[in-house]
């Protein structure tokens, strides 16, 4: 861009007009928690899935979040220094993130202290609520905010996707999806093992590639934002696949083990189907009777009926 005699480069508002992450791209996997509407914050649940998501989210900030200095109004223009905070308040996390370039392994995350993760979460959340949290994304400094879903909304998005069909009529229900993709993978692995032209090294290499490609098939043809949802669990999902293929893990048990991490992908696919976009979480006054939700539902229902009437009249 040019302004007068100055040339400058700035990121656009959106990287496309499609997919849930076109305006705000997911930076981590979903984290479940309880909303405290007296203090306008989210208290994360202490679960293995949450710990993996949170730890890898903090790792990303540790690597790429710039240090923010206090501004003119210290009440709102708060500083942020994730490296210094982790060093002081979360020594087990600091030890784990040292020198890491990719995601944390399952063993690394399991060795972290939950109370330390909560301290970092509260620090990051409080700074983001003052719009003072940023991250270096592809050479551009971008703001980072939290987006909150009511659990009913999230569950219904997952359920919506579970009812989808592929172009060939196959179901997206998780057990059927995994069964179908596993059958394809196992057939490919058998071809590799049966090929006498491959030596053992090549067989192992090709088998690894097929197993890695299996992970890609679980993205449901969604955009790259799904990568950030699955990324913290790549190692875990690969381990689970090994337990199923190599150690005889029962199929039903494998499906249930995969369900928590796949839920995020299904929620994204549901958002995409409804043309919903990520938007930052905005604190508001207490709404103990869901009066805003009720009014919104009434508004959407009324508008939808009117539009349907116009469309029916125009095109039918």
Q: Is the pLDDT confidence value at 285 over 60?
A: no
Name the band, by pLDDT with cuts 50, 70 and 90, for residue 101. Answer: confident
Say yes or no to pLDDT of 15 above 70: no
Among candidates 251, 242, 182, which has minimal Cα distance to 218? 182
Q: Quick one: CA dihedral 34, 35, 39, 40, positive or negative?
A: positive
Q: How confident is the model at residue 288 (pLDDT cuts 50, 70, 90)?
A: confident
310: three-class secondary structure by DSSP: helix
- Distance, CA of 282 to CA of 286 (rounded, Å): 12
Confidence at 283, pLDDT banded by 50, 70, 90: low
d(CA 91, CA 86): 7
pLDDT-derived band of residue 174, with 50, 70 and 90 as boundaries? very high
Contact 51, 114 (CB under 8 A): yes
Select the more confidently predicted residue: 134 or 215: 134
pLDDT for 32: 94
pLDDT the model gives residue 284: 59
Biggest distance spanned by C-alpha atoms of the chain: 72
Q: pLDDT class for 74, splitting at 50, 70, 90? A: confident
Decide which of 221 and 262 is more confident. 262
Residue pair 52/232 in contact by the 8 Å Cβ criterion: yes
Average pLDDT on 290-315 reads 89
Render pLDDT for 225-274 as a digit per residue (tens, 0 to 9). Answer: 787 888 778 788 888 999 999 999 999 999 999 999 899 999 999 999 99
Give the pLDDT confidence score for residue 99 in this predicted structure.
77
Percent of the chain residues past pLDDT 70, beyond the cut: 97
Give this prediction's pTM.
Answer: 0.86
How far is residue 35's CA from residue 148's CA, in Å, rounded to a whole number? 9
Decide if pLDDT at 301 tops 90.
Answer: yes
Q: Supply 311's token pair.
A: 């469309």
The CA distance from 106 to 21, in Å, is 27
Three-state SS at 2 = strand
């Amino acid at each position: 861009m040019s302004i007068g005699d100055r040339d400058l480069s700035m990121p656009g508002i959106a990287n496309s007009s499609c997919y849930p992450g076109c305006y705000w791209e997911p930076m981590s996997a979903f984290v479940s928690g309880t909303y405290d509407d007296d203090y306008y914050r989210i208290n994360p649940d202490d679960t293995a899935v949450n710990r993996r998501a949170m730890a890898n989210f903090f790792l990303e900030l540790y690597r790429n979040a710039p240090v923010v200095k206090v501004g003119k109004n210290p009440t709102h223009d708060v500083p942020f220094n994730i490296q210094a905070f982790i060093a002081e308040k979360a020594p087990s996390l600091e030890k784990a993130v040292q020198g890491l370039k990719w995601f944390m392994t399952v063993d690394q995350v399991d060795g972290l202290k939950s109370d330390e993760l909560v301290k970092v979460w509260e620090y990051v959340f409080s700074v983001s609520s003052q719009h003072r949290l940023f991250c270096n994304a592809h050479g551009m400094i971008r703001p980072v905010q939290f987006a909150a879903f009511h659990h009913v909304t999230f569950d219904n998005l997952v359920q919506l996707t579970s009812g989808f069909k592929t172009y060939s009529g196959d179901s997206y229900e998780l057990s059927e999806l995994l069964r179908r993709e596993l059958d394809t993978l196992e057939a490919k692995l058998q071809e590799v093992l049966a090929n006498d032209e491959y030596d053992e090294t090549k067989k192992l290499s090709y088998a690894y590639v097929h197993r890695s490609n299996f992970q890609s098939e679980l993205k449901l043809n969604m955009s790259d934002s799904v990568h950030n949802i699955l990324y913290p669990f790549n190692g875990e999902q690969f381990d689970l696949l090994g337990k199923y293929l190599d150690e005889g893990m029962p199929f039903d048990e494998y499906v249930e083990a995969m369900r928590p991490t796949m839920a995020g992908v299904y929620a994204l696919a549901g958002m995409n189907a409804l043309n919903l976009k990520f938007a930052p979480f905005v604190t508001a006054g207490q709404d103990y009777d869901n009066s805003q939700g009720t009014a919104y539902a009434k508004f959407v229902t009324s508008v939808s009926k009117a539009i349907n009437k116009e469309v029916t009249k125009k095109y039918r």
